[in-house]
Amino acid sequence: MTSAPTIIDHADNAAIAEWLAARLQAALAAAPGRLAVTLPGGSTPFPILAAMAGKALDWSRIDIWPGDDRVVPEEHPASNVGRIRAALEPLGARVVALAEGAVPPRFALSWLGMGTDGHIASLFPNTDPQADAPRAVLRLTPDPLPPEAPFDRLSLTIPALVDTDEILFVARGEEKAALFAAAVAGGHDLPVARLLRAATCPVTCFT
C-alpha cells in the first residue's frame, strides 16, 4: 500500500453512487474503448447500483466482473452474477460470469466488501490467500460455510483484485470500521490486510 486509504464515514447510498459515477465517468473519458470493473456480491451494492441508474454513464462500454460468486446456477437467488445481470444489463453493461481459468483484464475499479472475519471476495481466512497466487480465479470452500450461503465459491485472487487503478471498500458499521483500521495499521494478517499490503493504487473506504 503506497499511501494511507481515504476513509469516508457515514456515507449513504446516494453519496457512494455519486462518487462511483464520477470515477467511472472520468475513466471513460480518459481512454477510448472498454473498461472493466469488479463488483462485490451480497446485499450492499444493489441499492447503490440502483442509485446510479439515472447517471449519465455509457454502460455499453463497461464490463462488469463479480469479485466472487457462489457455485450455483445464475437463476439461483444466491448467484451474484445473476443479480448483477438483472441490475446492470438493462442499462447496457456487459456482465462476465466467473470461471476457473479465466484471465480478467486490468480493472478501472475494484469494489470490495469485507466480512467481520476479514474476508474479501470469497478469500476467507481458511483459504490462506496469497499476494502472489498463480491464478486469477480460484474455486474455494469457505470453512465454516456461511449458513445463509452454504456453497463452494469462485473468487478473484489478490493479484487479480489489485490489478486495478483504484480500490473501493464499503465496510459499514463500527466492527468493520475497526477491523479495516487495524488492517491498515498492520494489526492483523487477515485477507483484507494482505490485499491492502499488495495494493499500489489509491484506496477509498466508505464506512
Look at residue 55 in the predicted model and tell me its pLDDT.
Answer: 86
State the maximum Cα–Cα separation within the chain, in Å, rounded to a whole number: 44
How confident is the prediction for the chain on average, in pLDDT? 94
- What is the number of other CB atoms lying within 10 angstroms of the CB of residue 3? 10
Return the CATH number of the domain spanning residue range 6-206: 3.40.50.1360
Residue 190 has pLDDT above 90, yes or no: yes
Q: How confident is the model at residue 1 (pLDDT cuts 50, 70, 90)?
A: low
pLDDT (0 to 100) of residue 147: 86
pLDDT digits (tens, 9 = 90+) for 147-182: 888 999 999 999 999 999 999 999 998 999 999 999
* Reported pTM: 0.95
Residue 59 corresponds to which cell in the numbers above?
Answer: 454502460
User: Who wins on pLDDT, 156 or 2?
Assistant: 156
- Rounded CA gap, 177 and 15, in Å? 18
Query: The dihedral of CA 85, 111, 50, 23: what is its sign?
Result: negative
What confidence tens digit (pLDDT) does each residue in 96-151 have? 999 999 999 999 999 999 999 999 999 999 999 999 999 999 999 988 888 888 99
Instruction: Give the pLDDT band of residue 2 (cuts 50, 70, 90).
Output: low
Task: Show me where the domains of the chain are located.
Answer: 6-206
Banded model confidence at residue 20, pLDDT cuts 50, 70, 90: very high
Above 70 in pLDDT, residue 60? yes
What percent of the chain is predicted at pLDDT more than 70? 99
For residues 87 and 77, give the distance between their C-alpha atoms in angstroms, rounded to a whole number: 14
What CA–CA distance (Å, rounded) separates 136 from 199? 15
Residue 54, pLDDT above cutoff 90: no
pLDDT attached to residue 58: 95
The pLDDT value given to residue 139: 96
Q: Which pLDDT score, from 0 to 100, does residue 146 have? A: 82
